[in-house]
Structure 1
């Protein structure tokens, strides 16, 4: 595995795409040992044949269709009607809208790209400071991979053989808690800076509810189908796409064939990149398994830390550092066969480990230098990247506080899956 690690680091330092860096690393192991080279393509094809992975392109496509079909705009209007009247209402509106949209897209980038422009324009029109606005909007996007459905949880579940439905349920309470913490931080900053803003437009609650009812039913239909047993997560992803097409195309009539084609092209590009990473991660996972790295790491963790709380705090520090330098999906794909399997082997709840890994690495979406949401936030707002980074820093506090809470109280993750599937 030393050769494999050297090849991986060298490829990443040279700027190779992460998928090919992983492939080179796995190939390095096969060439340096007596492993059968035929296993490499077998692992690649076998991993991509994993049925749950079908959910990924469909969740991405559903998110793309929502962006151009009028669904996002109606969700924002409903959130504004709910919390727009309280002090700093537009900041809270962005958080509430982000939490609702997270129940549909499963992607932080999709959430930010969709809601970011609408939220930023509304806050600028009401004279909110740019740094306060982009800070709350960018940070809220991290809720996307936590509240179900979640593309990153699908990836973890498919690699670690953990039921995806349980992972989805495990993310509900941490996702809601994160949203509430971000709202508290925004309220504090809004009060401390004595911000003078123009009152948000008064939007009648029942009118926005009536106009947006079909949009708001999306997560209800999606999650209801999964947790009632009518559909698997994979089937629910297809259902989400079909439902979005019906709502945006036939009910709202805002979806044209040109927009559908654009959504399909964007989905193909993003899905292809993710699938390549997942496919090449399989032979690397085989190499890790054959080298018994996960077992060794499990023994090391148990020998170094007797208390599970200390183990998770150490893991949290590691994942926060990794999240700063690696895209979340790639990090999950690389670390699940090693760290994830090691923690599960140490006797920890697989659902708890999966949600925690997704949450901790997700914080990296808003930390430099690789934080993808920082770049998207800069793009949707027109604010320079360094200013976006500074604006986001205060909002890292609620993310870290929430992370510590769910480490100390693992029931925030495990209670809901146990409650649902014990009845």
Structure 2
């Protein structure tokens, strides 16, 4: 009788991209472990062990080498925890690690018998597609200097090391995969993490919700959901569009879910309070803007179900789950006409916005609020798209098949 396959996931955060899939594999009979830097976390069907870097990179380290030193320190932390597991007899058959932060970089040396799969999100370029687009939005020239190019290239070293050891590699979207050099791109299998379309579905009753009095029964609700209110997700452009929307539609209100922080971007960007700056610069009527903070998942779903126009904007960068989740719920989408977005959105299921055109975002939001029948058609098309392409069970089965194929391979 074949032995139960053992898989070890490695990610600084938990559950991240692996937790729910790990539980699903556990339900199939896999023995699932998860190594993470996150403390005090648990999940049914998953055995968790922790690692913790003992220090930050030294200030004296050469700037070009600091990304690698940070990754190595993280890898060392995992290595120490994994060696303790190995001493107790633990031997995974398959290791799956998020690349870039370094934790899985030495896993092949600790568990040489295991196959290794790299989960790849981003390859750094200079100037990056995100930086070029932001510069264009702001009427600036993209940065261009040799030192900047060297620093960005150095951030790829841990990713390249992981890929060199991998038996297979996964990337969630075609756009993200295209950022990788051809020598690595050919090794990437594009597989999204999956969307729970059964849970993230429309609900007629919640379409009429007041969200516990947050909005009026007859309000036209414009929603925006984000981890951070920041330039990468075009938060300033969204807020700048609101005065025109409010003037055109007296019943319109904006409900913004998320935290006032910068998740992506430069140190200089992190020094700015983008929430306050955007509200002040736009001169928006703050009485018609509601901030919910970070919402529990059920409340987040309820908000999206109530939405009359859901706005998702991003520069060319990693695509947010929130866009795909809102499509699954059947939101009337107003989205940026940028490469990661148009992999799933088109004029059949959304209203595309060229953020470089002044007033275009406001026009498309107003149009969406006014055109109930057209919005209804696009709502259905948006949900149909996600169900056809990203339904979680379908992708989980495909990913499990890939894992099984890698385990049967004789090399890697």
Q: How high is the TM-score relative to the length of structure 1?
A: 0.23
Structure with bigger gyration radius: 2
More helix by share: 1
Larger relative contact order (C-alpha < 8 A, sep ≥ 6)?
Answer: 1
Q: How high is the TM-score relative to the length of structure 2?
A: 0.23
More strand by share: 2
